[in-house]
Amino acid sequence: MFERLRNALRAALDAATPPGNLRELARQMREAVVDAKVSVQETRAAVTRAAGELAVERQRLADAERRGRLAGEIQDRETVAVAERFAAKHRARVAVLERKLTALQEELGLYERELVDMQAQLGRAERDRPLTEAERSAERAWRDLQQAGGVRPDTDLQGDLLQSDLDRTAREAAADRQLRELKKKMKKD
């Protein structure tokens, strides 16, 4: 699955195609990143399940060994033999589950590294893509507005600070009103 995603990313980054095709490739890259995130989540869930299975199996092994020891203390050879057979089965299962868990953890690490790489490549592709005519026109309009003394909303730090002060003042006033109301209620009771 990741091979297909990696190929889509490589194709997008290596492409020297017109902007329409770049948008399509960027869309495919975003879909590949979403697929990769799903794979990471599924693998994390598999790691959690395997760890749970391993914990249960280790407990069963400990129980079988304990039963064998107790049977040995009362010299019950038949129960000791049965307990040893069960302990051997659980020991083998623990070994398999430990290998499975290790493999899943390594696979998860691989998927997480690939996802980070894919996200970085997508970010570069989106950042470095050529602007469309509409984006270039909007950028020229914002520059003209700024040259005329206007402020671009995403760069108006003073406006943001003023809005933050107004918001804080409104919150404080609301808190004061609530406090007065609460005091009035407590005096009536």
Going by pLDDT thresholds of 50, 70 and 90, the confidence category of residue 189 is low
Mean pLDDT in residue range 161-174:
78
Answer for the pair 21, 15: CB distance below 8 angstroms, yes or no. Answer: yes
Flag whether pLDDT at 8 surpasses 90: no
Flag whether pLDDT at 88 surpasses 90: yes
Q: How far apart are CA 70 and CA 83, in angstroms?
A: 10
Comparing CA positions, the residue from 111, 37, 1, 17 lying closest to residue 26 is 17
The reported pLDDT for the residue numbered 31 is 87
Going by pLDDT thresholds of 50, 70 and 90, the confidence category of residue 145 is confident
Answer for the pair 22, 12: CB distance below 8 angstroms, yes or no. Answer: yes
The reported pLDDT for the residue numbered 173 is 86
pTM, two decimals, is 0.55
Residue 119's identity, in one-letter code, is Q
Say how far residue 56 (Cα) sits from the centre of its chain. Answer: 27
Report how far apart, in Å, the C-alpha atoms of 145 and of each of 10, 104, 148, 155 are: 39, 55, 5, 13
Contacts of 159 (CB under 8 A, 6+ apart): 151, 153
Comparing CA positions, the residue from 157, 126, 117 lying closest to residue 12 is 126
Answer for the pair 85, 136: CB distance below 8 angstroms, yes or no. Answer: no
Going by pLDDT thresholds of 50, 70 and 90, the confidence category of residue 16 is very low
Q: Where are the domains of the chain?
A: 1-130, 132-189
Residue 68's identity, in one-letter code, is G
The DSSP output letter for 189 is -
